[in-house]
Structure formats: structure tokens, C-alpha cells
Amino acid sequence: MKVGVIEHFDSMHLLPGHPKCGVPHGHTYKVEVTVEGPVVNGMVVDFDILKRSLREILKTWDHTDLNRLLPVPSCEHISEAVLGQLRGKLPGLRMGVRIWEGEGKWAECEG
């Protein structure tokens, strides 16, 4: 069974050396987290615990310069970093993180 939550954050970044994205600019990022596992006591994971954990992580990403957090803050690297932080808060769960950079563009990692 899979369950998921969605949150958002706003930040700016630049991608060093990129012809278009090499200048500072901002995005509204949508963060989708899915958790997969058996239903135990009626749930795969408590939505409240999942949302609180994700919101705590995203506080550090919201309204900041992402280049201060990652050397190359691409959508791919952001999704890997958020997944790693979420694993630290909710160990033992099979999760996936999809980061949407505005509309129509996303990167996803699972583990």
C-alpha cells in the first residue's frame, strides 16, 4: 500500500554555469512524499507524523538561497537531500520524494 502527502516551499537558487539558470531566480517547489508498506493498525504511517516531519525539514529550505544548502541545487539534488533528511526522521520506511520545480518539471528519488 502507498500513501502520500504534499507540501510546498519557496526558494531561490542559481545553477552554476547553466546558460539560462545561471542567474539568481526563484521557484515555488511542490514536494510529494510517498511511503510504501503494509497496513498496520489501520495505517501505513500516521499522516500527522509524516506531515510534521516533512514540514520541519522544509522550514530550512523555505525562503532561502538553496546554493547555501547544496553546491548545485538542481531539482535532482534537492529531491535526494530531502529524502535523506526524511529517512533520518522516519527510519525503516520505504519512501519516495518528488520535487516539482514550478509546473511541469520534477525529479524523483526512492529508497
Write the pLDDT tens digit of every residue in 50-61: 999 999 999 999
Q: Which sequence spans correspond to the domains of the chain?
A: 2-110
The pLDDT assigned to 26 comes to 97
Q: Is 8 a catalytic residue?
A: no
How far are the Cα atoms of 15, 32, 56, 111 from residue 93, in angstroms, in the given order?
32, 15, 18, 9
Q: Which of 21, 32, 76, 80 is catalytic?
A: 21
- Angstrom distance (rounded) from CA 37 to CA 56: 23
**Residue 63 designated active-site:** yes
pLDDT tens digits for range 41-50: 999 999 999 9
- Give the integer Cα–Cα distance in Å for 23 and 13: 8
Task: Please give the helix or strand (H or E) that residue 109 lies within, else none.
Answer: strand 106-110
**25 counts as catalytic:** no
Residue type, 17: G
- CA within 13 Å, CB half, 35: 23
Ranges in the chain, pLDDT < 70? none
| Amino acid at the residue 15 | L
Domain 2-110 superfamily per CATH: 6-pyruvoyl tetrahydropterin synthase/QueD (3.30.479.10)
Annotated catalytic residue, options 13, 27, 77, 101: 101
Instruction: Select which of 18, 25, 63, 110 is catalytic.
Output: 63
